[in-house]
Amino acid sequence: MKVLLINGSPRANGNTAVALNEMIKTFAADGVETELIHVGNKVVRGCVACQKCFTIGHCVFNDIVNETAPKLAAADGLVVGAPVYYGSPNGTIISFLDRLFFSTSGIDKRMKVGAGVVICRRGGASAAFDVLNKYFTISNMPVASSQYWNMVYGLTPGEAAQDAEGLQTMRTLAHNMTFLMKSVALGREQFGLPAAEEWIGTHFIR
């Protein structure tokens, strides 16, 4: 099993890292391989809907998005961590995810387990959490849950380490992801993936 973790915070060692590192330690204890990619300090432009990725197989803007795509393809699970800005995940991670998910339509994401993790000072965590989950639920990806919504509180760098409930939520989340990924692997081996219909795309309802 392998999990790819994305740190969307501009601070490599801030509170988002505290939350993700708690998961990494738990994954290690469960025998799950992990890779952490820090994207929050990168300049990531947004998707311009040029649709070139449909013909060339990758995003036309050659940056960390294209570097991450094959790692997503090889992973059994994806964790996206983001700080909360104005009740939503920060702009860099949104631009990154828009382009990553749009440009990897050729990568089969079915049954890869997804989890969003949000960190905030006080408010907006549940709204930001909902935004992250939408990337998974449009991609046939099961969403891992925990004992509480996947959020940790903290303002100054490292303060999240004091959020005992938040860190416990991260550990529970990692354990649950491990169980789900192993269950998917067993199900895939015994039953195969669910049958997929050819996509029907509509722009309006008659």
pLDDT at residue 30, rounded to an integer: 98
**Domain boundaries in the chain?**
2-191
Rg value, the chain, Cα: 17
pLDDT at residue 203, rounded to an integer: 83
pLDDT digits (tens, 9 = 90+) for 158-172: 999 999 999 999 999
pLDDT at residue 55, rounded to an integer: 95
CATH code of the domain occupying 2-191: 3.40.50.360
What whole-number distance in Å separates Cα of residue 62 and Cα of residue 66?
A: 6
Question: Taken in order 99, 182, 35, 28, is the CA torsion positive or negative?
Answer: positive
pLDDT digits (tens, 9 = 90+) for 71-113: 999 999 999 999 999 999 999 999 999 999 999 999 999 999 9
| Local confidence band at 199 (pLDDT 50, 70, 90 cut-offs) | confident
Which residues are 35's β-sheet partners?
4
Residues 81, 120: contact at Cβ < 8 Å? no
Mean pLDDT of the chain, nearest integer: 96
Residues 173, 148: contact at Cβ < 8 Å? no
Of how many residues is the chain composed? 206
Record the pTM.
0.96
> Mean pLDDT, to the nearest integer, of 124-147?
98
201 or 57, greater pLDDT:
57
pLDDT at residue 201, rounded to an integer: 85
Residues 73, 94: contact at Cβ < 8 Å? no
Residues 76, 184: contact at Cβ < 8 Å? yes
Residue 26 above 80 pLDDT? Answer: yes
Residue 206 above 70 pLDDT? Answer: no
Percent of the chain whose predicted confidence (pLDDT) is above 90: 95
> Mean pLDDT, to the nearest integer, of 21-29?
98
Q: Which of 99, 120, 113 is nearest to 9 (CA)?
A: 120
